[in-house]
Amino acid sequence: MKRTAFTKFHEELGAKMVPFAGYNMPIEYKGINEEHINVRTKVGVFDVSHMGEFWVKGPKAFDLVQRATSNDVAALTDGKVQYSCFPNGKGGIVDDLLVYRIDSETYLLVVNAANIDKDWAWMSKLAEEMGMEVGKELYNASDEIAQLAVQGPLALKAMQKIVDQPVEDMEYYTFKKLNIAGIENAIFSTTGYTGSGGCEIYVANEDADKLWKAVFEAGEEFGIQPIGLAARDTLRLEKGFCLYGNDINDETSAIQAGLGWITKFVEGNNFIDREIWEDQKANGVPQRLKGFVMVDRGIPRQHYKVVDAEGNEIGEVTSGTMSPMMKQGIGMAYLNKGFWKAGTEIFIQVRNKTLKAEVVTLPIYKD
């Protein structure tokens, strides 16, 4: 079982630890609800060092990333970040990821922890086909980087105390290289997986102790707390953010998943599976990923069946939980055509009961 550079802090704090993507990770500290609400109202810190980081460098870097990802990398400028996905050549998704443009010949790809080996094999194959040097022009830095996600409405205010550049007014999906708590060239980005604002900070493993201590010291007056993976999941679900393995996978397309906005059919963007997804966008798909809220009391879970008023199966739940902010069961499900409109009545089969729910537009929780 791997340990991140911050694992000792989680253990010292008495976090409940669980195996996740080959790492020993904190699932919760004080409890999911308290941690979730702290992120929505104040500031919370997630250890996300288990995420994968691939560097793409050299004269063919742009061509590789443009070919491998569905979004339009040509639209990026230095200091910008893009949410995207890797199409798998069969109409499905290898993974979803973030693309950072450092400069015209340097990109950082941040991928899901559980998919690092799979993504590395996929990108290595594509790089080799383009004549790039794997291990140099495409480099896997996943085991060398520590990352904290500092999330919540007070996150940037707290972090401003320990950085050498203005960060409170940074645009969403941008980044800076800066000095944070004496650590040079840290990457400070504003993407996030909670929908409550904040930043991610990337440093070398050897700087992890210094970063952890500085972040918590700076955030103390703002009510900062360490947050586990359980609250990370409830936070992202309230905002309708996809989780790979639940809501998207090798069988689902970006169009089916409601990710048409990261699928750019512009001139020159000849990404893998463009023709398949362009056809789906033009001619429609039989199922779409939609958010829903429980009307009857109950908690939906992955793989629960969705039926109509007559009991006909019309879909399947991909993610579900009890919303700490709404105090209602919420979820996302792939639903058949005809059941996509907000306000549509659907029914979730929860164990031996059939419970009423309603389709809603994303985000599910609107603060």
What was the pLDDT predicted at 258?
98
What was the pLDDT predicted at 280?
98
Environment class of residue 118 by beta-carbon count within 10 Å: exposed (0-12), middle (13-18) or buried (19+)? middle
**344: Cβ contacts below 8 Å, ≥ 6 apart:** 358, 359
93 φ/ψ angles, rounded to the nearest 5 degrees: -120, 125
> Could you list the pLDDT tens digit for every one of the 367 residues in the chain?
999 999 999 999 999 999 999 999 999 999 999 999 999 999 999 999 999 999 999 999 999 999 999 999 999 999 999 999 999 999 999 999 999 999 999 999 999 999 999 999 999 999 999 999 999 999 999 999 999 999 999 999 999 999 999 999 999 999 999 999 999 999 999 999 999 999 999 999 999 999 999 999 999 999 999 999 999 999 999 999 999 999 999 999 999 999 999 999 999 999 999 999 999 999 999 999 999 999 999 999 999 999 999 999 999 999 999 999 999 999 999 999 999 999 999 999 998 899 999 999 999 999 8
| Structural contact between residues 219 and 228, judged by C-beta atoms closer than 8 angstroms | no
What was the pLDDT predicted at 334?
98
Question: Which residues share a beta bridge with 111?
Answer: 52, 97
* Extended strands (E) in the chain: 16-20, 23-28, 44-47, 52-57, 81-87, 93-103, 106-111, 138-140, 145-151, 175-180, 183-189, 198-204, 225-226, 287-294, 305-307, 313-322, 329-336, 345-350, 353-360
| Angle at the Cα of 61 from the Cα atoms of 59 and 64, rounded to 5 degrees | 125
CB atoms within 10 A of CB 310: 7
Topology of the domain comprising 7-49+144-238? Gyrase A; domain 2 (3.30.1360)
Question: What is the value of pTM for the model shown?
Answer: 0.97
226: left (phi over 0), alpha (psi -120 to 50) or beta: beta
| Lookup: tokens for 261 | 């906005």
What was the pLDDT predicted at 296?
98
**The CATH number of domain 286-367 is 2.40.30.110:** yes
**Cα(114)–Cα(367) distance, integer angstroms:** 30
What was the pLDDT predicted at 175?
98
What was the pLDDT predicted at 35?
98
**Cα(146)–Cα(121) distance, integer angstroms:** 22
Domain 52-140: give its CATH architecture: 2-Layer Sandwich (3.30)
**Cα(140)–Cα(124) distance, integer angstroms:** 10
**254: Cβ contacts below 8 Å, ≥ 6 apart:** 70, 85, 87, 93, 248, 260, 262, 263, 277
**Separation in Å, CA 231 to CA 26, 226, 275, 319:** 11, 11, 38, 14
What was the pLDDT predicted at 236?
98
- Taking the domains of the chain in order of start, what are their residue ranges? 7-49+144-238, 52-140, 286-367
Cα 181 off chain centre by: 26
